[in-house]
Amino acid sequence: MDMTILNIALPEMAAELHPSSDQQLWIIDVYSLVLVGLLVSFAAIADRWGRKRMLMTGYTIFGTASMLVLFATSTESVIAIRALLGVGGAMIMPITLSLIRVIFTDARERATALSIWAAVSGLGAAVGPLNGGVLLEHFSWHSAFLINVPLMVAAIIAGIIILPESRVANPGRWDALAALLSLAGMTLLVWAIKSFGKAASLAVPEALIAFTVGAALMSWFVVRCLRSDAPLLELRLFHNREFSAGILAALGSMFAMAAALLLVAQWIQLVDGASPIEAGIRLFPIAIASAATSLIAPPLARLIGARTVLAGGVGVAGIGMLLIGLQPGTLTTATVIIALSLIGAGGGSLASGSAMIMHGSPAHKAGNAGAMEETSYELGAVLGIAILGSTSALIYRAQLVASGALDSLDETLAGQAESSLGAAVSIAEETGLPQVAHEAGIAFTHSLQVTGIAGGITMLVVAASVFALTPRGTDVSAGH
C-alpha cells in the first residue's frame, strides 16, 4: 500500500519540490536500496534474537519514520525518510515469510497461507491508490506517509497478541564481516548501475570503480558463505531447482514491472488528465487481478502443476506489458486498463513462486529463504527502476528537447522540465505555455511504451526460463 500511494503522490510531490529526474528516482529507489542491503543481516539477527521481536521493532521504525514527514520540506528530507522506511521494511518483510514457514508445518496449509499473504499484498496495492487519491483530494502529499502510522500501531498490537516467538535452536556464530560485505557490496553495485543508466554509457569512471569494488565484495561474500559451516546466507539453497525457479521468477518479474508501473501511474495523472482519486480507480484492476490470482494459484497448481501456473502467469504479465508498448497510434486508457489487468493476473501467480521457495527450503532456513525472496523482489525493483527507469528518462529528455517546446523557456526552467514530467506540467501551467505540457506528454508516452516493450520481452524470457528450470511434477502441497 505504501508503494502504490507513493506512485499516486509523486506527481504532486514533484510539482512542489521540483526534484531532478535523478532525485525522483532516488525517492523511489532508496527504500529498496537500503532494504536490500539490510535484509540478509536482519533475517540472520532475527533467527538469533527472535523473529517476533524483530518484526515488532520493524513496525515501530516504519511508523516513526512515516511521522517524520511532518518535518519534510525538501527532496533530500523525503529521500532520508524513505531510507529510514527501508530500515523498518528490512525488519518486516522477510520475517513475515519466515514466520509463515515455521508456523504452518503442513505443506498444503503453508501454500494456502502464502497465497493469502500474496493476496493481501495485492489488496494493499488496490487500497493504496484509492486511499492516496482520497487523501490527496483533501490534504497534501504528506498524508501519503502519515497513513502508515495508524496501520503500524494496529500491526504492533495484533502482533503482540497473536504471534508466537520463534528462533533457530543453534544458529551458529554471527558473521559480522559477511554482513558488512553484503551491505557495502550491494550498495556499490546498485549505485554504479544507476550511474550507468543516468549517463547512458559505461564510460563513467567513478561508477566503473564502484561496480568493480562492489562485485569484488559480493564475490568475497559468496565465497565466505559457501565455505562457512554457519553462513549468514545459505546459498546452498540454490542447489534446489524449485527454490531457484521461484527466486528467478520474483527477480525477473520485478525488474520488468517496477519501472513500467511507476511510469503508468504518472501517465494516468499527468498525460491522461486523471485526478488522484481517478488514478487510484484506474489502477484498481492490477491489484484486484493480482489478489484474485494469488488465491486461485494453489488449487490451480494442484490441477495443472506449479510450474505451469508460475511460468504461465509470468508470461501473461509479459503480454500485458507488450500491449502497452505495441498499441498502434495513440496510447488509450482502455489499453492501459486491459494491460494492467493482465499484468496483475500474471503477477498474482508469484504466490506459487513463494510456495516453491518455501517448499524448497528446510524450516530452520526459513529466515534465509525469506530474506532471499524479498531480496530478489527488491533488488529486481531497484535494478528495473535504475536501468529501465533511467533509460525512459533519457528517451523523454531527448524527445522533449528535440520537439523545440523548451526553446521559449529560460535555461533553469527548461532544465527542470527536462528532468521530469511533473515539473514540465507544473511549469507549463505557471508560464501559460500549454505546448510544453503537450510535448512533454508525447515524449513521456513514447518513453513509457519503450519501457513496456523491454519489460514485456524480459518477462517472456523469464517465463520460459522458469518453466525449463522447475522440475516436472513439482507439487508445493506435498511434504518433503
Average pLDDT over residues 361-369: 76
Q: Residue 186 and residue 443: Cα distance in Å, rounded?
A: 33
User: Domain range holding 139?
Assistant: 2-175+228-469
Average pLDDT over residues 321-328: 89
Top-confidence residue, 245 or 36: 245
- Residue 23: phi and psi, rounded to 5, are -65, -40
Residue 280 lies in a domain: yes
Q: Of all residues in the chain, what percent carry a pLDDT higher than 70?
A: 97
Residue 331 in grid coordinates: 496510447
Cβ atoms of 2 and 137 closer than 8 Å:
no
Co-location of 187 and 201 in the same domain: yes
Co-location of 191 and 266 in the same domain: no
Residue 477 lies in a domain: no
Average pLDDT over residues 355-368: 78
pLDDT score at 461? 96
Co-location of 157 and 180 in the same domain: no
Co-location of 232 and 217 in the same domain: no
Residue 355 carries which side chain, given as an amino acid letter?
Answer: A
pLDDT tens, 257-315? 887 877 888 888 888 888 777 877 887 788 788 888 888 888 888 888 889 999 999 99
pLDDT score at 479? 58
pLDDT score at 315? 95
Distances in Å between the Cα of 27 and the Cα atoms of 17, 79, 84, 390, 417 are: 12, 5, 12, 14, 18
pLDDT tens, 170-191? 777 888 899 899 888 887 887 7
Residue 192 carries which side chain, given as an amino acid letter?
Answer: A
Helices marked H in 270-327 — which ranges? 276-282, 284-304, 306-326
- Quickly count helices (H) and strands (E) in the chain: 20, 0
Domain boundary among 160, 194, 227: 227
Cβ atoms of 128 and 290 closer than 8 Å:
no
Residue 261 lies in a domain: yes
Domain boundary among 206, 227, 248: 227
Element (H, E) at 224: helix 205-227
Q: How confident is the model at residue 119 (pLDDT cuts 50, 70, 90)?
A: confident
Co-location of 197 and 268 in the same domain: no
Co-location of 205 and 235 in the same domain: no
pLDDT score at 469? 93
Number of domains in the chain: 2
Q: Residue 350 and residue 63: Cα distance in Å, rounded?
A: 28
Residues 6+ apart with CB under 8 A from 307: 245, 466, 467, 470, 471, 472, 474
Cα atoms in the 13 Å half-sphere on the side-chain side of 160: 9
Distances in Å between the Cα of 456 and the Cα atoms of 277, 322, 335, 343, 431 are: 28, 5, 15, 10, 38
pLDDT tens, 217-226? 999 999 999 9
Cβ atoms of 470 and 307 closer than 8 Å:
yes
Co-location of 361 and 291 in the same domain: yes
Residue 43 lies in a domain: yes
Residues 179-214 as b or e (16 or more Cβ within 10 Å = b): bebbbbbbbbbbbbbbbbbbeeeeebeebeebbeeb
Co-location of 44 and 127 in the same domain: yes
Residue 59 lies in a domain: yes
Co-location of 324 and 255 in the same domain: yes
pTM value is 0.80
Residue 345 carries which side chain, given as an amino acid letter?
Answer: A
